[in-house]
């Protein structure tokens, strides 16, 4: 497992599309989604802080160089150009971080939906296995069934693999006998 600093570096490099396929796949693992999202959110906070610092620096430089006359105007123009170039880079990178954060949110939602679907499938299979066991252990019921009807119990269990609950027919046979 990567340290938080190394993970944050990996996230920043991923935003710049400078990671290997394996590294990108590592970020996209379901267990890394929340950490990846948190790193991107912190990166946005850091970038906003950089933009604030640039604005503050520009204000200080304007006050500093305005008092120097004509030479100060030239120096101020150079400083403002450098600050504006840096601001554009930060804004551009921030845009890409936001896009990546949107991707993470979409992927995270998809993973949540998959987990919900898997959970529902797990519950269905668990219930089917329990019902199958219950029917097989009900000696009074099972002993009265023909071989074909006994096969229905197994077929009902197998149907659960396809997400189908087929024990209703077996239960109705049981109710008729009881």
How is 24-76 classified by DSSP, letter by letter?
A: HHHHTSGGGHHHHHHHHHHHHHHHHHHHHHHHHHHHHHHHHHHTTTHHHHHHH
Torsion of CA 101, 107, 112, 118, to 10 degrees: -160
Range of the domain at 109: 4-119
Q: Across the chain, which distance is largest between two alpha carbons, in Å?
A: 107
Length reported for the chain: 178
State the total domains in the chain. Answer: 1
Question: Between residues 142 and 39, which one has the greater pLDDT?
Answer: 39
Is the backbone of residue 114 left (phi > 0), alpha (psi -120 to 50) or beta? alpha
- Are 96 and 47 within 8 A, CB to CB? no
User: E-assigned strands of 120-170?
Assistant: none
Tell whether 115 is covered by a domain.
yes
d(Cα 55, Cα 47) in Å, to the nearest integer?
12
Tell whether 97 is covered by a domain.
yes
- Are 47 and 97 within 8 A, CB to CB? yes
Mean pLDDT, the chain, integer: 85
Tell whether 58 is covered by a domain.
yes
Question: Between residues 70 and 118, which one has the greater pLDDT?
Answer: 70
Q: Is 60 exceeded by the pLDDT of residue 152?
A: yes
E strand or H helix at 145: none
Tell whether 87 is covered by a domain.
yes
Local structure of residue 2 (DSSP, 8 states): -
- Are 128 and 165 within 8 A, CB to CB? yes
Tell whether 109 is covered by a domain.
yes
Q: What is the pLDDT of residue 74?
A: 87
pTM of the model: 0.62
Tell whether 39 is covered by a domain.
yes
* pLDDT band of 135, cuts 50, 70, 90: confident
Helix/strand/coil for 163:
coil
Helix/strand/coil for 140:
helix
Tell whether 155 is covered by a domain.
no
Q: What is the pLDDT of residue 112?
A: 64
Print burial letters for 28-37: b (CB count within 10 Å at least 16), e (below 16): eeeebbebbb
Tell whether 65 is covered by a domain.
yes
């Amino acid at each position: 497992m990567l340290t938080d600093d190394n993970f944050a570096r990996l996230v920043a490099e991923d935003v710049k599309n400078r990671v290997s396929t394996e590294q990108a796949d590592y970020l996209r693992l379901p267990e890394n989604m929340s950490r990846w999202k948190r790193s991107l959110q912190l990166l946005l906070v850091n970038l906003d802080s950089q933009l604030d610092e640039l604005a503050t620096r520009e204000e200080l430089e304007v006050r500093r160089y305005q008092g120097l006359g004509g030479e100060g105007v030239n120096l101020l123009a150079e400083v403002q150009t450098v600050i504006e170039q840096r601001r554009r880079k930060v804004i551009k990178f921030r845009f890409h971080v936001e896009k990546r954060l949107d991707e993470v949110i979409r992927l995270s939602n998809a993973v949540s939906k998959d987990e919900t679907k898997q959970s529902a499938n797990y519950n269905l299979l668990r219930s089917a296995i329990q019902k199958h066991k219950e029917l097989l252990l009900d000696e009074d019921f099972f002993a009265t069934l023909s071989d074909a009807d006994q096969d229905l119990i197994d077929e009902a269990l197998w149907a659960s693999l396809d997400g189908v609950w087929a024990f209703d027919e077996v239960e109705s046979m049981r109710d008729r006998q009881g």
